[in-house]
């Protein structure tokens, strides 16, 4: 049995390592970190690089270089405090995984320094340290020992690891007989239950089935609440916004933005949308059959307004306030956004719980195109809670005219938890109906407001749906 075989090889339990002097509350410190790879055009160039420059130096000549340099990371610096959760985002090839590997110590930097304080558990390539000939139990003991747990700690936590992995009697079988899902479950369980000081995760939440992903997210949240530091890479921007306090945005191996996670995530989203717009302009009008001609809004559905009743609103103050985070391809423009009560009076800041409101969006067109005018309501972490566009209200797209002025008005209730919220408004032009759109004009934080506490009760979730309720007595215990 593994217990007997590992009695002498398991580390003994000792008191936790003291934090290095001067480390303070810093869990990870990265200073001027760089990683350069040597790229060779042919295998023989590698041999030439090993031999020829040495001979040239001996002969007093300037050594020739037979490779080209690729800097996966260049002069990266940041600090992560103990207990912080940090999300690293960026497109594929931006250096995210390289950074995590160097922090974990599995990859050596070319330049710079890394300081970590505490025990690290890394979920990079799940199960990469497993021996396929060993049973699940044996691999648990081996990997937990590598994470710094002693025999007694592994014994105490083994049942929890097995329960989290939920692979049944396969725990006693060689892992080479496991399915990919079972393999991932066991690897994740070992790292999660080890209760590390620093948890490093590279896209591990994207594997496994739906129930396992939910379990992993719950486990990460508990680790977060226990005070551990979490550093993870994810393309799930919603997870970055909801879990992280800090965000690092990498682009071509350099830090493009660092700071508050929701703000950094929004900057990344903006960049991706602008790239989508560029691709849309290049290709969307060309391939026959790719475009589905959107249905146009019938003229009778565009309600004319009596002259003087409502006019297109403009505001220099509004334009200046939203300019920093505004983007889009152009052709139509939002000139003003209002949050009104049912008497058409502006709501300054405070909104009552479940109050019925109007979202009024003023639009001016500079071209002829089919558009939808949409809104999203987001919480203080920029997580999207709800929203609506023409499709969701079963309205056909509006075909604008040059110089056309339009007023779009949505009416809804706001049964939201007490707290701060913001309104994002956007004009989109459909490319593939229901699937893809060009972003014509997007305004972040068009309106910021605060939902007051419900007088009847505390709301523990973000949205209260007023469910119906029944209680019936069906008998007594004899």
At the topology level, CATH places domain 26-266 in Rossmann fold (3.40.50)
3-state SS of 362-403 is: EEEECCCCEEEEEEEEECCCCCEEEEECCHHHCCCEEECCCC
pLDDT digits (tens, 9 = 90+) for 3-21: 444 444 555 554 444 444 4
Q: What pLDDT, in 10s, does the model give residues 336-347? A: 999 999 999 999
Q: Which residues pair with 422 in a beta bridge?
A: 378, 448
Task: Please state, in angstroms and rounded to a whole number, the distance separating the CA atoms of residues 57 and 59.
Answer: 5
pLDDT band at 390 (very low <50, low <70, confident <90, very high): very high
Q: Smallest Cα–Cα separation from 72: which of 25, 113, 111, 14?
A: 111
Question: CB count, 10 Å around CB of 403?
Answer: 9
Span 167-184, average pLDDT: 87
Structurally, at CATH architecture level, domain 313-451 sits in Distorted Sandwich (2.70)
Burial 53-91 (b: 16+ CB within 10 A, else e): beeeeeeeeeeeebeeeebbbbebebebebbbbbbbbbe
Q: Which residue has better confidence, 325 or 5?
A: 325
What mean pLDDT comes out for the span 277-289?
Answer: 58
Per DSSP, the three-state class of 106 is: coil
Q: How many whole angstroms separate alpha carbon 220 and alpha carbon 417?
A: 24
Distance CA 238, CA 88 (A): 13
Numbered ranges of CATH 2.70.50.60 in the chain: 313-451
- Residue spans in the chain of domains classed CATH 3.40.50.300: 26-266
The whole-chain average pLDDT of the chain stands at: 85
Q: What is the pLDDT of residue 355?
A: 97
- What are the φ/ψ torsions at residue 200 (nearest 5 degrees)? -120, 125
Model confidence pTM above 0.85:
no
Chain Cα centroid distance, residue 135: 35
């Amino acid at each position: 049995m593994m217990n007997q075989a590992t009695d002498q090889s398991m580390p003994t339990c000792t008191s936790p390592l003291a934090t290095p002097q001067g480390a303070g509350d810093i869990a990870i410190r990265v200073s001027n970190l760089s990683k350069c790879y040597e790229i060779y055009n042919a295998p023989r160039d590698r041999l030439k690089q090993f031999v020829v420059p040495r001979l040239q130096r001996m002969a007093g000549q300037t050594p020739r270089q037979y490779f080209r340099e690729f800097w996966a990371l260049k002069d990266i610096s940041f600090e992560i405090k103990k207990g912080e959760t940090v999300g690293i985002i960026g497109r594929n090839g931006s250096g995210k995984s390289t950074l995590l590997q160097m922090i974990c110590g599995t990859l050596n930097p070319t330049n710079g320094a890394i300081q970590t304080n505490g025990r690290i558990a890394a979920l990079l390539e799940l199960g990469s340290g497993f021996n396929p000939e060993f049973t699940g139990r044996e691999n648990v003991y081996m990997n937990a020992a590598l994470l710094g747990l002693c025999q007694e700690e592994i014994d105490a936590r083994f049942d929890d690891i097995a329960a989290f992995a939920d692979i049944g009697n396969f725990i006693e079988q060689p892992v080479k007989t496991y399915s990919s899902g079972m393999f991932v479950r066991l690897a994740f369980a070992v790292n999660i239950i080890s209760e590390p000081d620093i948890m490093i995760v590279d896209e591990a939440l994207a594997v496994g089935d739906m129930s396992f992903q939910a379990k992993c997210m719950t486990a990460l949240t508990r680790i977060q609440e226990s005070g551990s530091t979490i550093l993870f890479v994810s393309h799930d921007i919603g997870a970055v916004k909801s879990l992280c306090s800090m965000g690092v945005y990498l682009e071509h191996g350099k830090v493009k933005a660092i700071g508050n996670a929701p703000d950094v995530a929004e900057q990344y989203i903006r960049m991706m949308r602008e790239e989508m717009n560029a691709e849309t302009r290049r290709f969307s009008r060309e391939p026959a059959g790719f475009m589905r001609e959107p249905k146009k809004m019938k003229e009778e559905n565009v309600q004319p307004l009596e002259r003087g009743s409502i006019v297109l609103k403009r505001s220099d103050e509004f334009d200046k306030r939203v300019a920093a985070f505004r983007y889009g391809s152009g052709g139509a423009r939002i000139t003003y956004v209002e949050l009104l009560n049912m008497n058409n009076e502006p709501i300054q800041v405070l909104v009552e719980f479940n109050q019925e409101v109007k979202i009024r969006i003023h639009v001016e067109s500079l071209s002829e195109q089919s558009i939808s005018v949409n809104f999203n309501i987001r919480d203080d972490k920029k997580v999207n809670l709800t929203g609506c566009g023409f499709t969701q209200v079963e309205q056909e797209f509006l075909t604008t005219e040059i110089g056309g002025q339009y007023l779009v008005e949505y009416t809804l209730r706001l049964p939201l938890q007490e707290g701060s919220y913001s309104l994002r408004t956007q004009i989109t032009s459909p490319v593939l109906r229901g699937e893809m759109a060009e972003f014509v004009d997007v305004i972040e934080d068009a309106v910021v407001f605060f939902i007051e506490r419900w007088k009847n009760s505390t709301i523990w979730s973000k949205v209260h749906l007023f469910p119906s309720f029944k209680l019936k007595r069906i008998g007594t215990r004899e």
